[in-house]
Structures are given as C-alpha cells and as structure tokens.
Amino acid sequence: MNDTVTPEQSSADHLTTLRHMREKAVQGGGAARIEAQHAKGKMTARERLSILMDEGSFQELGALATHNVTDFGMADKRFPGDGVITGFGRINGRRVAVYAQDFTVLGGSFSQVQAQKINKIQDLALESGIPIVGLNDSGGARVQEGVRSLAAYGEVFQRNVAASGVIPQISLIMGPCAGGAVYSPALTDFTVMVDQTSNMFLTGPEIVASVTGEQVTAEELGGAAVHAGRSGVAQFEARSEIQALELTKLLLSYLPSNTSEDAPILVSDDSPDRMAESLNTIVPQDDRQAYDMRKVLDEIFDTDSILEVHEAFAPNAIVAFARLDGRPVGIVANQPLVMSGVLDIDSSDKISRFIRICDVYSIPVITFVDCPGYLPGVEQEYNGVIRHGAKIIYAYCQATVPKISVVTRKAIGGSYVALSSKQMGSDVAYAWPSAQIAVMGPDGAARLLHGRAIKTAEDPAKAEADFVAEYREKFFNPYRAADLGQIDEVIEPRETRPRLVRALEVLQTKIATSVPKKHGLFPV
C-alpha cells in the first residue's frame, strides 16, 4: 500500500499522510456516486450528519477502518470507513452517539467492519448513558463477505436489546432496508421513514412476485406510507430527509438521555393558568356526533408542543408527546372522529407500546377517555383482541410514572377499566360533566335488565323508552363514579389545563416500589 509510513519520513510527512487519508475518507465512494445519490433525491451520510448534529460538535471514530476481504475482487474495493460513519457529538447541546451508513460506498452494504464500528458506538452510548441515532441507507448484507456479514447483524441486535429501555434509540430509514437489516430498527424505540426514498421489507418485490404472484413495487410493499399507516412498523413518516432529521432533534427534546435521568424541562411561553373557554362547548350534545380530540388536546397543552407518534397507524387512538408548562408528558387519547374511538388490536399495540416508552423514560402519562368499548366482530376475536387488549391493561398497571386521566365523554364497560382507571393505578382521575361512565349502553341495559317487563308491557316501545331515560339519568353521568371515588373530581372542561399542571406538580416526586423480579410476562 502507498500509504505505509517509513521510518525515514519526517513528522511533516506523517501529518501529510494522515491528512491525505482523512481526505479520502471524506470523499466516500467518490464524486460519481455522490452525484448518483443526489440524483435520487438523497443526501450523503456526511450531509445528513451535518444537519443532524450541532455545528462543529461531531467527532468521528473509525474513519480509517477498512475490510480485509479479497474474494470476488473485493481487494481493490477498499474505502476508508467501509461505508459507515460512526461517532458522537451534540444535538441541541445534548450528547448523542450516531452512526450513518454511506450508500455511496459499496451500496452501504453491511459488513463485518461496519458492524464492529457500529457495535463500538453502541457500547459507548450505553456505557455513557446517551441516546443513539442510526441513519440507515444500505443495500443489505455484503454478499462477498459470506456468512460473516450475517453474524454481524446478530452483534448489532444483541446490543440493541441490551440498550433497550436504558438509552433512547432512534432509527432513521433513508434508503433501502431489507432482510435482516429491518430488525435493528424494529428493536429500537422509534423508526422514522422518509416518504418515497425509503423502504423496509423482509422479502422484496421479486420474491413476493415469485411466491404469491402478486406484482408490487418496493414503495407499495414497504414504503413510508405503508409502514407509518397500515403496518405501524414506523412511528414517523417524514416528507423529506431534512424533515426526518429535524423531527429526530425535536423528538430527542422530549426524552431524557437515559432511563435514570429526567427529560429536560424547557421554558414555555404558554401560561400554566390559561383557561380554554372553547372546551366547555366542544363535546356535542348529541351522543352520535363525533368531535376532534386533537382540537381538545391543542387547547390544553403548551402551544405547538404536541408531537404525535404513530399518527397514521390506528388513528382511532392518539398517542403523542407534548409539554405542560414546559414539562414533557405523554398523551394517550381516544379519537371519536375515527371508528367512534373504539379500541381494537392495532390501537392496543399502539397505546401499550407508547405507555411503556413513557414509563421507562419517566414521562408522566395523561389519558383522555372517550371510548364506546372494544370493536365487536368475529375477525377481532379470532385475531386475539383479548390478548392484544390485555397489553393496554398490563402497560398501565406496570407503569409507575404519574398517571392522570380525564374522561371527556364515553367510558363504557371494559374500556372504562382498561383506560387508566383509578383502580388500575391512576393517581388523579378527572371527568368532565359530559362524561358517561357506565357498565353498558342504555339500550343494551334495557334489554338485559327489563327485557321481559318491556315485552309484556302494554306499550313495549314506551316502556323501553322510559327505562332508557331512567338509566341515562341515573348512570350516564360522572356523578355516580365520583360518588364512589372512582373519579376524584368532576371539572369544568375549560379548567383542564391548570388542573393538570397543578396535579403534575404534586406528582413529580411520586415514588412507587414493586417487588424485584427478572421481568414480567408482557402479553405480546
């Protein structure tokens, strides 16, 4: 190799050699490949990092690492860094570790050296207790390396799991991500996909076509819209690479650096005592009419602070990060506008996953309940809505962070219990006067309790209507529950923000202890 340094060389030569090698590392796969990357509407790994990291904060590790493979002409294809940039730096002044695959170098293909570099930075992040962000853009395993590159995936997975729940792990998908490579993002806390330029699948369109005969494009099979909407594999869908990077910075602002720290409390422009008059009239008089829960949340939390997670997946539920007087909180809410706000398999997955993330990072959970119950149907039962619905209950019961609930309208049957009820460890339970907290709806109750009396009555329709009216008056309000202590306080909707701010202030020092165990058996 030309770069070898001989003893005769002066120290000036040493420096020249180093600078020359570093220059080569910066060029990645060369000008032609960089141009090809730009032509696809994608940035290079270094360009992405320059947007993600605070200026001048990035420090690279392993820039000169190359592979030792000689099979299939690989001896001539050595690039310093081997297709991944690893290092650490700062985002909004806070320390983070990062790795970014470089598609311009051998298609970003995953090699043993790549894995070693990523592993080192994963270990560093875990031991230092700082978040790790991975920018994925890789054609897959480096086939020329044989089984070595497969083993390398295992090394990354092992560290993903070791770090899970200790430090935030965020994966950005900014290009292809296929086969084994999809599992590292799936093991991390958040996956962000870029619309049109990224895709994720276990088996690609060719294999799907040869096995099932179905013709699909990569975008139709595993594009950002598919995973952010139908499958829920991605928590965020960004319209551009820049937006994906900005979103990552924003997301990190709600999270602590690790599980033993608290997320930063930032200064908010919004008054903690602000009343939201419009909330007093937001719930329609007619039960059958829906309203937009997002408008309710916008009025209560700090202005422009709500960051929805899984926005397009299971939209009958809303989960989001937000701030309340500058303090990060997690929101779980039903969305009456979509599917009447019912709970089903997908929304159970969405809600339970989010509660566990909030719990592990000490972020209080505030739940807004307007849920008519679980979605009835043969398909839901056959697909195991019981074991999926159990996840919500498990997650709420397990969570030791402050939990506050607000019943805005329907809290009926199982959904009342499952969604942060007082008995399942809710610290403070509020209800609006429009709340309907009951075991079942009035029509069902009429048939069940007075079916015979109604049938034998002179005017069955009138008898039923009378019973329904009586049931509504007695049970379809928050006062029976408040009477029994199941609701702590019935509040005016406009007071919700100041009430929540005050409750959180008290609960910030909450301590809950549990019996030590290896781990619970979460109903997956």
Partner 1 sequence: MRRYQLTVNNNEYEIDIEEISATEFQVQIDGQAVDVTLTSQADAADAIITPQIETAPSRAVADPSIAAAQPVTRAPKVPAAMRSETPRTPSPAVAGGQDLAYSMSAPMPGVILEINVAPGDQVNKGDVVMVLEAMKMKNDLHADRTGTVESIDVKSGEQVKYGQVLLRFVKD
**Helix spans in 304-434 (H):** 345-360, 378-382, 385-398, 414-418
Residue 298 in tokens: 């916008």
**How many Å apart are CA 100 and CA 107, to the nearest integer?**
13
Candidate residues 1, 267, 511, 515; the one interacting with partner 1 per rule CB under 8 A: 267
Q: Which conformational region is residue 41 in: left (phi greater than 0), alpha (psi within -120 to 50 degrees), or beta? A: left
**Residues with Cβ < 8 Å from 5, sequence gap 6 or more?**
13, 14, 17
464 binds partner 1 (CB under 8 A): no
377 binds partner 1 (CB under 8 A): yes
Candidate residues 29, 33, 37, 60; the one interacting with partner 1 per rule CB under 8 A: 60
71 binds partner 1 (CB under 8 A): no
Between 25 and 491, CB nearer to partner 1 = 25
Residue 321 in tokens: 């990060």
Count residues contacting partner 1 (CB under 8 A)?
77
- The answer to whether 263 and 363 have CB atoms below 8 angstroms apart is yes
Q: In the bound complex, what is the minimum distance in angstroms from residue 69's beta carbon to partner 1?
A: 23
- The answer to whether 123 and 113 have CB atoms below 8 angstroms apart is no
Q: In the bound complex, what is the minimum distance in angstroms from residue 1's beta carbon to partner 1?
A: 18
Binding to partner 1 (CB under 8 A): which residues in 346-365? 346
Which DSSP symbol is given to 343?
Answer: B
**Residues with Cβ < 8 Å from 362, sequence gap 6 or more?**
256, 259, 261, 262, 263, 401
Binding to partner 1 (CB under 8 A): which residues in 273-302? 287-290, 302
State the DSSP string of 270-318. S-TT---GGGGGTS-SSTT----HHHHHHHHSSTT--EEESSSSSTTEE
Binding to partner 1 (CB under 8 A): which residues in 77-106? 85, 92-93
Between 226 and 429, CB nearer to partner 1 = 226
Q: In the bound complex, what is the minimum distance in angstroms from residue 318's beta carbon to partner 1?
A: 11
Between 22 and 474, CB nearer to partner 1 = 22
Between 216 and 397, CB nearer to partner 1 = 216
Candidate residues 113, 152, 173, 226; the one interacting with partner 1 per rule CB under 8 A: 226
Candidate residues 123, 155, 246, 466; the one interacting with partner 1 per rule CB under 8 A: 246
Q: In the bound complex, what is the minimum distance in angstroms from residue 292's beta carbon to partner 1?
A: 9
Candidate residues 75, 202, 250, 469; the one interacting with partner 1 per rule CB under 8 A: 250
Candidate residues 69, 135, 173, 245; the one interacting with partner 1 per rule CB under 8 A: 245
Residue 30's H or E segment, with its range, is none
State the DSSP string of 463-521. HHHHHHHHHHHHHSSSHHHHHTTSSSEE--GGGHHHHHHHHHHHHTT--------S---
Judged by CB under 8 A, which stretch of 132-140, 223-231, 361-369, 462-470 contacts partner 1?
Answer: 223-231
Binding to partner 1 (CB under 8 A): which residues in 159-218? 214, 216
Pairing of strands 84-91, 94-101: antiparallel
Binding to partner 1 (CB under 8 A): which residues in 380-439? 380
